[in-house]
Amino acid sequence: MSTIESFNPSAWLRPPHIQTLLPRLVFRCRQWYGQWETFALNDGDFIELCWHPHATPDSQRPLVVLFHGLEGSVDSPYIWQTMEELAEHDIDSVVMHFRGCGKTPINRLPRAYHSGDIGDPTAVIVALRERYPNRSIHTIGFSLGGNMLVQLMSTELADVLTSAAVCCAPLDLMSCSKRIDRGFSRLYRKYLLTPLKQKFTIKQQRGMFKDCTQLNSLDVNKMTSFLEFDDKVTAPLHGFSDVEDYYHRASGKQFLKQIRKPTLIVHANDDPFLGPDVVPHIDEMNPHVTYEKHPHGGHMGFINYQHRFYSWLPTRLVNWVSEKEAEKL
């Protein structure tokens, strides 16, 4: 395990809920529109990609593909700040929005996305590899997107990638589902569940579940926990028998031993979203994995202050990408 670049915030910034909530409060909105691309999927649905406006598609510069967290997007501070930091280092970037998380909030099919859904990211990376055969491609995943990325890096697709970085990932889903049901973390649960329930209800009203009586008549508005929502909605929509089957098969920790390319994993010890079981033991990883657990940082926070608020995490991630790029030379 490694803590080469330790995150040490000022004492008044150390409480985990301050770290978690502060980014949305102190950082300006994204100041650029980006280059949007609608990416067609083989099942007739679509996802939306957003390229940083300084990306140069015909260049040979490294390319980083980013995967956001649950109900995140390019507007999430951790996404656009990382993309800006990459651009400052002459590295291109594109964020893949999971189904229904881009500019178009309702996708065409009943299904949505989940923590172990590597199908759409695989399609995007394969297409980018074909489009840019001479570029090195790196990946960064945050929270849900990070959990997904761990599984993806254990497959043969990792062989076309140079590296991965995984941030604040719920590598044991059952542990995290129970953790977010406790104390102040229930505020985050409500914040994340509300848009999921809203999107599901819109699909119901449009008759998208008419072939499934169970889902068509389901009242999600009464649900207050991820455990219930994932059992009644996420699992049946995506081919799992129940929530236990979903959490077991989709949790990323079991794939760490099979990771095939250099992968950085960053956790904060005080993350209010993550249960204790997300932390892997040394014998659950292989030499491709660099694991960093920092005492502070909250969930997708890692904010410090020196004359102004700034995010430590994008710099750490860009340094990782730059290091792995240099090792190719």
Closest CA to 327 of 272, 261, 276: 261
The answer, yes or no, to whether residue 177 has pLDDT greater than 70, is yes
- Cβ-based neighbours of 255, under 8 Å, separated by 6 or more: 150, 151, 153, 154
- Please name the residue that has the structure tokens 């254990």: 154
User: In the prediction, which pLDDT does 1 show?
Assistant: 38
User: In the prediction, which pLDDT does 213 show?
Assistant: 83
User: In the prediction, which pLDDT does 100 show?
Assistant: 97
Identify the burial level of 70 via C-beta atoms within 10 angstroms of its C-beta, where 0-12 means exposed, 13-18 middle and 19 or more buried. Answer: buried
233 vs 93: CA distance, rounded Å: 33
- Please name the residue that has the structure tokens 């904010």: 303
Closest CA to 81 of 135, 36, 24, 35: 24
The pLDDT confidence band at residue 328, using thresholds 50, 70 and 90, is: confident
What is the per-residue DSSP string for 226-263? Answer: HHHHIIIIIHHHTT-SSHHHHHHHH-GGGGGGG--S-E
Q: Retrieve residue 92's tokens.
A: 């291109």
User: In the prediction, which pLDDT does 3 show?
Assistant: 38
CB 106 within 8 Å of CB 31: no
94 vs 139: CA distance, rounded Å: 10
pLDDT tens per residue across span 92-107: 999 999 999 999 999 9
Cβ neighbours, 10 Å, residue 214: 10
Q: Which positions are annotated as active-site residues? A: 143, 271, 299
State the DSSP code for 277: G
pTM: 0.96
* Burial readout 130-150 (b: 16 or more C-beta within 10 A, e: otherwise): eebeebbbbbbbbbbbbbbbb
Q: Retrieve residue 12's tokens.
A: 């008044």
Q: What is the mean pLDDT of the chain?
A: 95
pLDDT tens per residue across span 106-160: 999 999 999 999 999 999 999 999 999 999 999 999 999 999 999 999 999 999 9
Classify strands 46-51 and 35-40 as parallel, antiparallel or unpaired. antiparallel
